[in-house]
Chain A
Amino acid sequence: MNLALGRAGVTLGLAAAILGAVTVGYGLIRHRPELVRLSRWYAGLVFLGGFIAAFAMERALITRDFTVKYVADNGSTKTPALYNFATLWGALEGSIILWALILGGYLVAVVLKFRKRLADPLVGWAVFTMLLVCIFFFWMLVGPANPFKSFSPPVGFDGPGPNPLLQNHPLMAFHPPMLYLGYVGFTVPFAFAIAALITGRVGEGWLLATRRWTLIAWGFLTVGIILGSWWSYEVLGWGGYWAWDPVENASFLPWLTGTAYLHSVLVQERRGMLRVWNISLLCATFALTILGTFITRSGVLESVHAFTTSGVGVALISFFALIVLSTVVLIGWRGDRLRSPGRIDSPLSREGAFLANNVLFAAFAFVILLGTLFPLIVEAINNDRVSVGVPYFNRMTMPIGLTLLFLMAIAPVLPWRKASGELLRHRLIWPAWIGVGSMIFAVVVGARGFAPVLAFGLGGFAAGSAGRQLVLATRRQGWRGLVGRANGGMIVHLGVVIIAVAFAASSSYVRQAEFTLTPGQSAQFAGHTLVYEGQNIKQESAKIVDQVLIRIDGTGPWAPSLNKFANGNQTIGTPSVRSTFTDDVALSVIDIKDGENGSVTIRVTVQPLIIWLWIGGAVMAFGTLLAVFPGRRRNPLDAVSAPVSVEPPKEPTGATA
Chain B
Amino acid sequence: MSSTSAFAKRSPLRRWGPWVAVVVVAVAALSVAVFGTRSAPTAQDRVSSISRTVKCPVCSGESVAESNAPASQEIRRQIAEQVQQGQTDDEIRSFYAAKYGQAILLTPSAAGVNVLVWILPIVALAVGIAALVIVFRRWASMPQERATDEDRELVESALHPDELTDENDPHGEGASR
Residues of A within 8 A of B (CB): 236-240, 243, 245-246, 301-302, 343-345, 347, 350, 352, 355-356, 359, 362-363, 366-367, 370-371, 374, 378, 381-382, 384-392, 395-396, 415-416, 420, 422-423, 425-427, 429, 432-433, 435-436, 439-440, 442-443, 447-450, 452-454, 457, 472-473, 475-477, 484-487, 511-514, 573, 590-591, 631-632, 634-635, 637-643, 646, 648-649, 652-655, 657
The answer to whether A443 and B63 touch across the interface, beta carbons within 8 angstroms, is: no
Q: Which of A374, A436, A449 touches B34 (beta carbons < 8 Å)?
A: A449
CA distance A475 to B170 in the complex (A): 13
How many A-B pairs have beta carbons closer than 8 Å: the answer is: 226
Which residue of B is nearest A603, CB measured? B68
CA distance A485 to B177 in the complex (A): 8
Q: With A475-B168, A590-B73 given, is the CB distance from A433 to B175 under 8 Å?
A: no
Q: Specify the chain B residue showing the minimal Cβ separation from A416.
A: B177
Q: Are B168 and A476 in contact (CB under 8 A)?
A: yes
**CA of A602 to CA of B39 in the docked complex: distance in angstroms?**
24
- 13 further A-B pairs in the complex, CB-CB below 8 A; given A390-B63, A429-B19: A237-B68, A344-B135, A350-B177, A387-B108, A388-B108, A423-B4, A425-B19, A443-B36, A450-B34, A457-B26, A457-B30, A573-B68, A632-B176
From 21 to 36 in chain B, residues with beta carbon under 8 angstroms from any chain A beta carbon are: 22, 25-26, 29-30, 32-34, 36
Q: How far is the CB of A41 from chain B (nearest CB, A)?
A: 40
Which residues in B have their C-beta under 8 angstroms from that of A392?
Answer: 106-108, 117
Whether B67 is near chain A, meaning CB under 8 Å from some CB there, is yes
Q: Select one of B7, B146, B175 contacting A476, CB under 8 A.
A: B175
CB distance from B93 to the nearest CB of A (A): 10
A384 to B112: give the CA distance in the assembly, Å.
11
Q: Which residues of B contact A (CB under 8 A)?
A: 1, 4, 7-8, 15-16, 18-19, 22, 25-26, 29-30, 32-34, 36, 38, 44-45, 48, 52-53, 55, 60-63, 65-68, 73, 76, 101-108, 113-114, 116-117, 120-121, 124-125, 128-129, 131-133, 135-137, 139-142, 144, 146, 152, 158-160, 163-164, 168-169, 171-177
Q: Is the CB of B63 within 8 A of A389?
A: yes
A392-B117, A420-B4, A653-B140 are known contacts. Are A432 and B61 too (CB-CB below 8 A)?
Answer: no
Contact B103 A385 (CB under 8 A): yes
Taking CB atoms, residues of chain B closer than 8 Å to A573 are 68
Roughly how many angstroms separate A448 CA and B40 CA in the complex, as a whole number?
Answer: 12
CB nearest to B143 among chain A residues:
A652
In the complex, the answer to whether B102 meets A371 with C-beta atoms within 8 Å is no
A436 and B132 form a contact (CB under 8 A)? no
Decide if B176 touches A484 in the complex (CB within 8 Å): yes
Among A345, A389, A427, A591, which residue has its beta carbon within 8 angstroms of that of B55?
A: A389
Sort A-B residue pairs by CB-CB distance and give the 9 closest, nearest first. Answer: A389-B106, A657-B136, A238-B66, A640-B174, A453-B33, A385-B103, A343-B139, A359-B128, A439-B29
Chain B positions within 8 Å of A439 at CB level: 25-26, 29-30, 33
**How far is A88 from B132 in the complex, measured between Cα atoms in Å?**
47
Residues on the B chain within 8 Å of A449, using CB: 33-34, 38
**Docked pose: A653 CA to B1 CA in angstroms:** 18
- Complex contact B33–A447 (CB within 8 A): yes
Closest to B163 in A: A637
**CA A433 to CA B29, docked complex, whole Å:** 13
B22 to chain A, nearest CB (A): 5
> Which residue on chain B has the smallest CB distance to residue A589?
B68
B171 with A385: CB separation less than 8 A: no
> Which residues of the partner chain B approach A432 to less than 8 Å between Cβ atoms?
19, 22
Among A347, A637, A653, the residue within 8 A (CB) of B159 is A637
Closest-CB distance, B129 to chain A (whole angstroms): 6
Could you tell me if B132 and A355 are in contact, using CB atoms closer than 8 angstroms?
Answer: yes
Contact A590 B108 (CB under 8 A): no
CB neighbours of A390 from chain B (8 A): 52-53, 63, 106
B121→A363 contact, CB < 8 A = yes
B121 in contact with A389 (CB, 8 Å): no
Least Cβ–Cβ distance between B13 and chain A, in angstroms: 13
Contact present for B174 and A639 (CB under 8 Å) = yes
B173 to chain A: which residues have CB within 8 Å? 415, 472, 640
Chain A residues, Cβ within 8 Å of B34 = 448-450
Q: How far is the CB of A632 from chain B (nearest CB, A)?
A: 6
Question: Does B25 contact A382, Cβ atoms closer than 8 Å?
Answer: no
Q: Name the residue of chain B whose CB is nearest to the CB of A388.
A: B108
Task: Tell me, rounded to whole Å, the shortest Cβ–Cβ distance linking B43 to chain A.
Answer: 10
In the complex, what's the smallest C-beta–C-beta distance from B137 to chain A, in angstroms?
6
| A386 interface neighbour in B103, B136, B142, B160, Cβ under 8 Å | B103
Q: Which one of B29, B131, B140, B152 has the highest number of Cβ atoms from chain A below 10 Å of its Cβ?
A: B29
A370 vs B123: C-alpha distance when bound (angstroms): 13
Asked whether A634 lies within 8 Å of B176 as measured between CB atoms, the reply is: yes
**Contact: B146 with A648, CB < 8 Å?**
yes
Give Cα distance in the complex from A290 to B25, angstroms: 48
